[in-house]
Structure 1
Amino acid sequence: MSDFINKALSKKNKDDIGILQNSLGIGISKYAKGDGTDETAKVQSGLNDASGKIIIFPYGFSFKVSTLTIPDNTIIFGYGSKIYNTTTHQTILSLGNNVKIYGLEIQGAGNSSYNELGRGIGILGNYNSSNSTIDYKSDIYLKDCYIHDFGGHGVHAEYAKNIKIDNCKIENVGYSGVMGLSVLNMHVINRTHIKGISPGNTYSYGVIFSRRADTNSLTQYPRSKDCSVVGCTVEDNPNWEGLDTHAGENILFANNIVRNCKIGIVAVPSQLATVDDYAPLSPKIVNNIIYGIGTGVGITVSGALTATNGTPAGYASNPVIHGNTLNECGIADDQYGGALIIKGTRNASIVGNSLRDNYVFGINIYHTNTGFTVQGNTIQDARSNTYTAPSAIVVRADYNYGIINGNSLIKVGTSFTEAYVSTRGIFINLTTNVDVEVGINYNTFTTPVRFSSHGFAVDSKKLYSSTIPTSGLFTKGDYVENINPSELGAVGSKYILNGWKRMTTGNSHVLNTDWFEDRGLTGN
């Protein structure tokens, strides 16, 4: 059997699919003609007769249907064939367990307006309230399918596990390309292309792994877990997000392209009645390319926050944000935004990302982040028309504890029209409940390091810059290491300026009064 299937899959042409049908399969053409009438009953009869077998939708035919139920253990080949209903919003295919669908086109009633009923494929398990258990729908494989023009979702799965969506195309959907609610081991992979998500219902998503917000019971509505989107493209969702998880655990977004979406990739909490309840756990956002449109964040990770900074209902623990490329991300003139934002996180690792032409801030360590590492990132330019201090890296508010080290902060800024460009390299905005170690960073922004005008001192008492500070409160004994040393002075008394030693406590910054040069003779 596998030889016939593999041959049909490799060529996907009419002749080989015909051979497959004659040898192993049951052809839907024995039941329905594709004559433009509603043939739901005829097609369903064929599906029932072929339950557990291979079913062939014939090449070059289109079948008008209402909701069809695919029996368990059934394989569908649909290359060159289409099923559709362009008049009524509904679920076109409802899948059983262990179902595989290859190459079928599925068309709905359009996405000119949002309609939750409009779904290309539905995969729905069941919660048994009498014994608090879940009967998962499982083992679904969709390959090379084309799903388009639905008011709600391309693929909608709830209480489902072991799902793969492989090299599919999903276009023109009203709310989401793929939605997984309380799903396990669901993967969107291998060049799946999701495009045209609108108009949404306030929100809209390319792919989302989440849980229902009807109650805060993790028994009834567990987290989505061990899911991924890898090697795919999501584009044209200007109203909301490309890739999303709400309260997901071990969710991976890797090697994707997100283009023309308001917000690129997010890992945020679920909510009950607009109140955060469960934070995402161990999200991984790696090696993605995000093209922003100046209206939203490129990447954001958030814990379950409360009204008071520093006391989250739950931290977003161990987020990994590595190797991503962000272009023109952030919100123009939003002084609390940025291309990459974290808040309410524990042990966040932000490493090796490339951010270019950012709006207001490159990386925004907003508030309530403990144990973060920002290292090895390259950030080129930050800009704003109204906010006077666009910065590469900002520690924006309080309850932030971590390390900023080994980053390259580069001011180019020759073609921007904004009034303020790359003003500050590293900006520590507050002093209260902030403990940030600022290491050695390559920094060509106008002011490499700026502390709050209210005063700030790094606990290690050692800072790094190419000049003495111009603002902030410092204590006698503090030290600024020169990050751009060179040999200075006349022959016979040449020296290297190693840095500057603080000799007073206060917020004045006069050379040879408050700060004294630390010179080392070279012997030249």
Structure 2
Amino acid sequence: MSTEERTPPSRRAFLMATTGALATGALAVTVAATWNDSKHMSLQSVVDAARAGDTVEISRGWLIGTPVVVNKALTIRCVRGGSVTTTKDVHAFDVMASSVRFEQVALRGVAESRGDKQAAIRVTGTLKAPIKGLRILRCIIVGFAKNGIEAHHVHSPLIEANTIERAAYGGIMIFSGKGGRIAGNTIRNVTMRTLKNAYGIALTRMYNQPLAQAPHTSGTIVTGNLVDGVPGWEGIDTHAGRDISILNNTVRNCRVGIAVVPGRNPAGVYVYAPTGIRVIGNTIDSTVTDGSRRPGIQVIGATSSTGKVNQYASAEVASNTVTGHGTQNTGNQSGIHIEATRQTTVRSNKLISCSPNGIHAYHSNEGLVIEKNTFTDTWSQNQDFAACVYISGTAQSLTVRENKAIRGKKKAKLVNERGLFVRAEAKRPGTTVTASGNSFTACVKPIVDASKSQKLT
């Protein structure tokens, strides 16, 4: 429990009720006055009546067809079964002020299958006037047509211990955020529906705006969350984030578990890479055994359509457990995929039943270190190889050391077929691999250097 949660606000409290379709009763102010409910027939009117620093308590069910605009510092909480349900494809709350706090608010969207605009809580700051002091704690958000929580230009938000289910696009979406903590949330069943992508948690920017107007999200900690069920796309994502920490999360049943990937400029070109990213201590399980998912973790820099690197990614990928990821009938798939990086380390990860490769170093990785990882049952049913460490492309300098293969109980055409595999294409131009201290004796072919040009032991 955070310090924020333990410290109750010393603010006035409003008790809300309505004579509307789902709510009856009286509205009272616990301090200076008693409000007549006939003057407050809408949730918006109660929020408007409150003063900055007040607490608004929702004690009944509300049906709303337009967003509730919050333009002052308030604490909003549900008590005694209170809730807010939207009747149209609209946001439930539209926040335009700093120091707004949501506690135990129950939100339900009815446009889950018939819209693409709706967020339960949308927070909108600007570059010159970012939103500060946002707190969203222990809320329950179900069935919104786009996002659960969507925040633009927020500094140091705390989004903690919320449950978000059946969002159609994103569970928690941060655009041009700075700092803050996303912790202990449960996000399930992000459906994607007719939208092209879907995310459990995403830290990104609006790519159709110049970088000067929409900077990279930076310095955010994402820790202790459960993301379960984004089978069409990505569990946790950053597009060109800066100094993001993704720590000790559980990601299940997602097409890609954790995606550390580039971002585009307004012309649609990938020119911004994610840098300074830490992906540590996460548990990522595809929940399938047929090799139909994509990588559990991918770190990719910004490259052009011709393969030219516009900006290198950098990351530390350590102490994660990845199970059942990689598309087994595609040779360049893997549990962990690394591409166009500089000074990136992949260390002490456990890769279990990944296919057809455990770790794939694709191309343009400078100073990549792959060390002390364990690989259990790297497999393929359709490929002619299955490698623990696969180095396939050009322009790379890598150190591969002290990794280990383990034979488990997986049954397939190929299991642990190769330990370290350097493809022939890696010899042109400029790929160098130094390998030492690896234990690939559990593999049929411990080392295969098709390039015939590397220092491998």
User: What is the TM-score with the length of structure 1 in the denominator?
Assistant: 0.78
Moved more, 37-46 or 296-305: 37-46
Gaps of 5+ in 1: 10-19, 128-133, 465-524
Q: Match for 1:105: what amino acid?
A: A
Structure 2 equivalent of residue 450 of structure 1: 448
Find out whether 1:373 has 2:369 as its counterpart: yes
Counterpart mapping for 1:196-275 below 5 A: 196-200=189-193, 201-215=195-209, 217-272=210-265, 273-275=267-269
State the Cα distance separating 1:7 from its structure 2 match. Answer: 8.9
| Count of aligned pairs | 427
Counterpart among 151, 160, 175 of residue 154 in structure 2: 160
1:196-235 Cα shifts (integer Å, max 9, x gaps): 10124111000111111214x2101110111121001001
Name the SS of the counterpart of 2:45 in structure 1.
Answer: helix
Structure 1 equivalent of residue 28 of structure 2: none
Name the SS of the counterpart of 2:213 in structure 1.
Answer: coil
Residue 57 of structure 1 contacts residue 81 of structure 1 at CA under 8 Å; is this kept in 2?
no
State the Cα distance separating 1:48 from its structure 2 match. Answer: 1.8
Structure 2 equivalent of residue 107 of structure 1: 108
Structure 2 equivalent of residue 36 of structure 1: 22
CA distance in 1, matches of 2:102, 2:322: 35
Structure 2 equivalent of residue 62 of structure 1: 61
Q: Match for 1:250: what amino acid?
A: D
State the Cα distance separating 1:58 from its structure 2 match. Answer: 4.4
Structure 1 equivalent of residue 116 of structure 2: 116
Counterpart mapping for 1:368-447 below 5 A: 368-412=364-408, 414-416=409-411, 418-429=412-423, 430-432=426-428, 433-443=430-440, 444-447=442-445
Counterpart among 136, 144, 163 of residue 142 in structure 1: 136
Counterpart among 165, 170, 173 of residue 167 in structure 2: 173
CA distance in 1, matches of 2:449, 2:80: 63
Structure 1 equivalent of residue 303 of structure 2: 305
Name the SS of the counterpart of 1:45 in structure 2.
Answer: helix
State the Cα distance separating 1:118 from its structure 2 match. Answer: 0.8
CA distance in 1, matches of 2:83, 2:155: 25
Residue 70 of structure 1 contacts residue 94 of structure 1 at CA under 8 Å; is this kept in 2?
yes
- Alignment root-mean-square deviation, CA: 2.1
State the Cα distance separating 1:408 from its structure 2 match. Answer: 1.0
Q: Which structure exhibits the higher relative contact order, with contacts defined as CA atoms closer than 8 Å and separated by 6 or more residues?
A: 2
State the Cα distance separating 1:431 from its structure 2 match. Answer: 1.5
CA distance in 2, matches of 1:119, 1:152: 6
Name the SS of the counterpart of 2:134 in structure 1.
Answer: strand
State the Cα distance separating 1:117 from its structure 2 match. Answer: 1.5
Residue 177 of structure 1 contacts residue 205 of structure 1 at CA under 8 Å; is this kept in 2?
yes
Structure 2 equivalent of residue 49 of structure 1: 49
Residue 194 of structure 1 contacts residue 235 of structure 1 at CA under 8 Å; is this kept in 2?
yes
Q: Match for 1:206: what amino acid?
A: G
Name the SS of the counterpart of 2:43 in structure 1.
Answer: helix
Residue 183 of structure 1 contacts residue 225 of structure 1 at CA under 8 Å; is this kept in 2?
yes
Identity %: 23
Seen in structure 2, the aligned counterparts of structure 1 residues 125 and 179 have a Cα distance that, compared at 3 Å, is same
State the Cα distance separating 1:44 from its structure 2 match. Answer: 1.7
Residue 383 of structure 1 contacts residue 422 of structure 1 at CA under 8 Å; is this kept in 2?
yes
Q: Match for 1:315: what amino acid?
A: Y
Q: Match for 1:202: what amino acid?
A: K
Name the SS of the counterpart of 1:135 in structure 2.
Answer: coil
Structure 2 equivalent of residue 77 of structure 1: 77
Q: Match for 2:405: what amino acid?
A: L
1:121-176 Cα shifts (integer Å, max 9, x gaps): 0100135xxxxxx3212210011101111000001111222211110001110100
Gaps of 5+ in 2: 25-36
CA distance in 1, matches of 2:6, 2:334: 48
CA distance in 1, matches of 2:310, 2:279: 23
CA distance in 2, matches of 1:415, 1:361: 14
CA distance in 2, matches of 1:349, 1:229: 20
Structure 1 equivalent of residue 15 of structure 2: 27
Structure 1 equivalent of residue 32 of structure 2: none
CA distance in 2, matches of 1:428, 1:295: 24
User: What is the TM-score with the length of structure 2 in the denominator?
Assistant: 0.89
Name the SS of the counterpart of 1:185 in structure 2.
Answer: coil
Structure 1 equivalent of residue 34 of structure 2: none
Structure 2 equivalent of residue 98 of structure 1: 99
State the Cα distance separating 1:86 from its structure 2 match. Answer: 4.2
CA distance in 2, matches of 1:389, 1:456: 20
Structure 2 equivalent of residue 338 of structure 1: 334
State the Cα distance separating 1:185 from its structure 2 match. Answer: 1.5
Seen in structure 2, the aligned counterparts of structure 1 residues 439 and 34 have a Cα distance that, compared at 3 Å, is farther
Seen in structure 2, the aligned counterparts of structure 1 residues 100 and 425 have a Cα distance that, compared at 3 Å, is same
Residue 80 of structure 1 contacts residue 104 of structure 1 at CA under 8 Å; is this kept in 2?
no
CA distance in 2, matches of 1:186, 1:108: 27
CA distance in 1, matches of 2:302, 2:294: 20
Find out whether 1:192 has 2:185 as its counterpart: yes
**Greater C-alpha Rg:** 1
Structure 2 equivalent of residue 511 of structure 1: none
Q: Match for 1:36: what amino acid?
A: L
Residue 291 of structure 1 contacts residue 328 of structure 1 at CA under 8 Å; is this kept in 2?
yes
CA distance in 1, matches of 2:427, 2:72: 61
State the Cα distance separating 1:82 from its structure 2 match. Answer: 3.8
Name the SS of the counterpart of 2:117 in structure 1.
Answer: coil
Counterpart among 354, 361, 366 of residue 357 in structure 2: 361
CA distance in 1, matches of 2:62, 2:169: 25
Residue 337 of structure 2 contacts residue 360 of structure 2 at CA under 8 Å; is this kept in 1?
yes
Q: Match for 1:295: what amino acid?
A: R
Residue 80 of structure 1 contacts residue 103 of structure 1 at CA under 8 Å; is this kept in 2?
no
1:244-268 Cα shifts (integer Å, max 9, x gaps): 0001101111100000111100111
State the Cα distance separating 1:87 from its structure 2 match. Answer: 2.7
State the Cα distance separating 1:276 from its structure 2 match. Answer: 0.8
Name the SS of the counterpart of 1:180 in structure 2.
Answer: strand
Structure 2 equivalent of residue 508 of structure 1: none
Seen in structure 2, the aligned counterparts of structure 1 residues 34 and 194 have a Cα distance that, compared at 3 Å, is farther
1:55-85 Cα shifts (integer Å, max 9, x gaps): 34344x2111231122322112214444433
